[in-house]
Amino acid sequence: MILMEEITKITLAILGVIAAFIGGVLLAVLPLYFAWNAIVPVIFGLSQITFVQAIWLSVLCSCLFRSSSVSRSDITRAIKDSR
């Protein structure tokens, strides 16, 4: 009986984490979706995007524009060393 209760707690915890992740992704993509559909078709004449396309566009942008592990102090030090 105790084993079944532990399994239930773990299962609910895992489902909660998955639901929170999916909810976070959906909330993070909404601004991109609405901003694209409000601005880009008017300015550039491109078509509106679907919500799924907004998710993939967000994934693509996060891959392309991910910040590097180089810090500002590393850049400053490299410039000083090159002089």
Task: Look up the pTM and report it.
Answer: 0.62
Give the model's pLDDT for residue 51.
93
Give the model's pLDDT for residue 81.
83
CA dihedral angle for residue 30, residue 33, residue 34, residue 36, rounded to 10 degrees: 150
45 sits in the region (left: phi over 0; alpha: psi -120 to 50; else beta) called left
Q: Rounded to whole angstroms, how far apart are CA atoms 55 and 63?
A: 13
Give the model's pLDDT for residue 68.
64
Give the model's pLDDT for residue 70.
66
Give the model's pLDDT for residue 27.
92
Per-residue pLDDT tens digits for 55-66: 999 989 888 887
Ranges of the chain whose pLDDT falls below 50:
none
Q: Rounded to whole angstroms, how far apart are CA atoms 18 and 12?
A: 10
Give the model's pLDDT for residue 73.
78
